[in-house]
Structure 1
Amino acid sequence: MPVSRRRAVLAVTTAAALALGATACGDSAQSAPSPDAPIQQRLDAVTERGIPGAQLVITDPDRGTRVLRAGVGNTATGEPIPDDARARIGSNTKAFVATVVMQLVDEGTVDLDTSVEHYLPGIVAGNGNDGNRVTVRDLLQHTSGLTDYLAPGGAKPEDVKPGQLRIAMNDEPVGHYTPTELVRIAMALPPGPAAKNEAVYSNTNYILLGMLIEKVTGRPAAQEIATRIIDPLGLKDTYFPGSGETQIRGPHANGYHRIGEQQVDVTVGDVSWADTAGAMVATGADLNTFFAALLRGDLVSQDRLAEMKQTVPFDRGPKDAYGLGLVRVHSSCGNEIWGHGGGIPGFGTSGGVDANGRAVTLTLNHIPMSEDSVGAAQQVVDAAMCAD
Structure 2
Amino acid sequence: MPSRMTLLVSSLINCSHIMRQEAFGAAKVNASLQFSVRGRALMGQKMFAVLEQARRIESQGAKVYHLELGNPRLPPPPAILSRTVQALIEQEVGYTQSAGHPALRQAIAQLRERAWGHTITEANVVVSPANLIINQFFDLVCDPGDKVVFFTPAFPSYWAAATHMGLQVEGVTLDLVTGYDLTDEAITRALAARPKAIVVNSANNPTGAVYGREPLERLAVECDRLGIWLLSDETYGEISFGRPFHSLGGLELPRLVVMSSFSKLFSVPGYRIGFVIAHPDVAEKFALSVSTLVSCLPIFTQLGCVAALDCIEDYTASVRERCVSMTEWCDQALQGTNRISFVPPKAGFYYFLDISACGLDDLTFAQRLLEEQQTAVTPGSSFDPSLRSHIRIATCGSVLDVHEGVRRLVALAETL
Q: TM-score range by the shorter chain?
A: under 0.3
1 or 2, which has the higher helix percentage?
A: 2
Between the two structures, name the one with larger relative contact order (CA 8 Å, sep ≥ 6). Answer: 1
**Rg (Cα) greater in structure:** 2
TM-score by length of 2: 0.26
TM-score by length of 1: 0.27
